[in-house]
């Protein structure tokens, strides 16, 4: 049986760069032990090394969220670490080259996008649920592109559809886990200057990480099943 650790622990997928890395940095500065995860061993190790130079307590964990076997193997590896999670941030996501129009795209583009952006967060949540403390928090990094109430954004429709599904999964998981003391919320970080967002994006990486870090550290634990932007609930 695992003994609870006094140090808060957060696991962040896709944490080797961009918003995920910044969430790791800010959570580490707030006193969390940070577990940075990604599918590339070298990049994960490099991101962990950068965080250590800032005095952050960090451990690398290689995992490909699009691969069920990788997720299961990583969960077994994590079980041997005898740790419990206060926060799980499902941040890993992709935009597939050629994602321009659903009516003309190869079906593989949608399948590949859903595998990482929708099924990935679900399978990671399921695999690491046994290690979540009660109470604890699960945070999904979504996008305004997945909104059902805003104007349709067609720049990457498979990506947008994957985030719509992620929002729906957030609500369903929140309802399932509410009696276990586990909150599940999603975040629209806005258009952020990352490899995915591009240099012309209106928001800094620090701003993009602000609301996920708030949900991980300061937000009332009673909040669940909601989608946030700039620390405020939004419609989706």
Three-state DSSP class for 156?
coil
Q: How many CB atoms lie within 10 A of CB 199?
A: 7
Alpha-carbon gap, residue 181 to 117, rounded angstroms: 25
Q: How far apart are the first and last CA of the chain?
A: 40
Place of tokens 């994957």: 162
Active-site residue, from 21, 32, 128, 159 = 159
Alpha-carbon gap, residue 10 to 126, rounded angstroms: 16
CB 216 within 8 A of CB 28: no
Active site (annotated) includes residue 159: yes
Where in the sequence numbering do the catalytic residues fall?
159
């Amino acid at each position: 049986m695992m003994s609870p650790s006094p140090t808060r622990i957060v696991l962040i997928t896709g944490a080797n760069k961009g918003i995920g890395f910044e969430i790791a940095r800010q959570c580490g500065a707030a006193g969390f032990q940070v577990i940075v995860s990604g599918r590339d061993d070298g990049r994960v190790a490099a991101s962990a090394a950068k965080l250590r130079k800032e005095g952050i307590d960090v451990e690398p964990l290689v995992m490909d969220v699009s691969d069920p076997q990788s997720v299961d193997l990583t969960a077994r590896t994590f079980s041997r670490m005898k740790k419990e999670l206060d926060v799980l941030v499902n941040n890993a996501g992709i935009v597939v080259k050629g994602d321009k129009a659903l009516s003309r795209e190869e079906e593989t583009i949608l399948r590949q996008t859903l595998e990482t952006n929708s099924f990935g967060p679900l399978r990671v949540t399921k695999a690491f649920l046994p290690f979540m403390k009660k109470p604890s928090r699960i945070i999904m990094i979504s996008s305004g592109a997945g909104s059902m109430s805003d104007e349709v954004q067609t720049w990457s429709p498979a990506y947008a559809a994957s985030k719509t599904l992620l929002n729906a999964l957030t609500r369903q998981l929140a309802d399932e886990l509410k009696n276990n003391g586990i909150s599940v919320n999603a975040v629209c970080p806005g258009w952020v200057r990352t490899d995915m967002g591009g240099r012309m994006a209106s928001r800094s990486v620090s701003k993009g990480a602000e609301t996920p870090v708030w949900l991980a550290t300061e937000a009332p634990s009673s909040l669940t099943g909601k989608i946030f932007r700039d620390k405020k609930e939004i419609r989706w």
